[in-house]
Amino acid sequence: MARIIDKEEKRLDIARASIELFTYKGIAQTSIDEIAKSAGVAKGTIYLYFKNKEEIIFAIWDMLAQRHQDVFQKRITDKMSAKEKIIELFNFTECEEDHDKEQILTLYQHFLSTMLVDKTGLYTAYFESFFQRDYKTISTCLQEGIEKGELAPHDVDKLTKTIIVFMDGTLIKAKMSNFHFEQAQAFLIQHITFLLDQCTRKEP
């Protein structure tokens, strides 16, 4: 009797197997042949699950982002302030449990650099969907903070976009300063906390 293959799990297996390659070789320098070898499958098998290398990259990020979203939803509670919830959104410590955290930091830096030179628009369109999701989460928390009297930002839209831009800027700063994962995480939390403190409603 033929063994039933879970296509989605096989797809994720291939994506997981390529993380180390993309991390150490970069995205442009990694070939489908190398991915197939790393995943222990024939090159033709890769194309049964992915149309191109970009789809593999996006599958990796889908997997990591979904994991982070699941952890975030478990961590937040109704008793937390809006500020605490936003800071928790940028807590990526689950990377220590699931993956080599330094690999993930480097991988995201590769994602950003590839997006900056992308002429196809594929990376830009893909990451825009994540920016929109983060935008919705952060702006919703800010509105909640306003309604509860915790926050008094002058412009929710601009503050939300500033927080998102700062997150990406932190990854560039981490690369320039050769930060380790913990240093990048601490830098990110410290400065987002500072931004939120500027609009925290002070007791009279």
Indicate whether 39 belongs to any domain. no
Q: Which domain holds residue 59?
A: 53-197
Provide the Cα torsion 37, 41, 44, 45; round to 10°.
-140
Write down the pTM of the prediction.
0.84
163 within a domain of the structure (yes/no): yes
Q: What is the pLDDT along the chain (204 residues), one digit of tens a residue?
A: 345 457 888 899 999 999 989 988 888 899 999 999 999 999 999 999 999 988 999 999 898 888 889 999 999 999 999 999 999 999 888 776 666 788 888 888 888 888 888 888 888 888 888 888 899 999 999 999 999 999 998 899 999 999 998 888 887 888 788 888 888 889 999 999 999 999 886 655
Q: With respect to residue 107, please indicate whether it lies within any of the assigned structural domains.
A: yes
- Does a structural domain hold residue 137? yes
CATH of residue 96's domain is: 1.10.357.10
d(CA 199, CA 155): 10
Is residue 106 domain-resident? yes
Classify residue 37: in a domain, yes or no.
Answer: no
Closest CA to 76 of 65, 66, 84, 64: 84
d(CA 7, CA 51): 15
Q: Which of 176, 171, 142 is nearest to 159 (CA)?
A: 142
Task: For residues 201 and 197, give the distance between their C-alpha atoms in angstroms, rounded to a whole number.
Answer: 9
Considering the domain boundaries, does residue 132 fall inside one?
yes
Residue 43 lies in a domain: no
Domain tally, the chain = 1
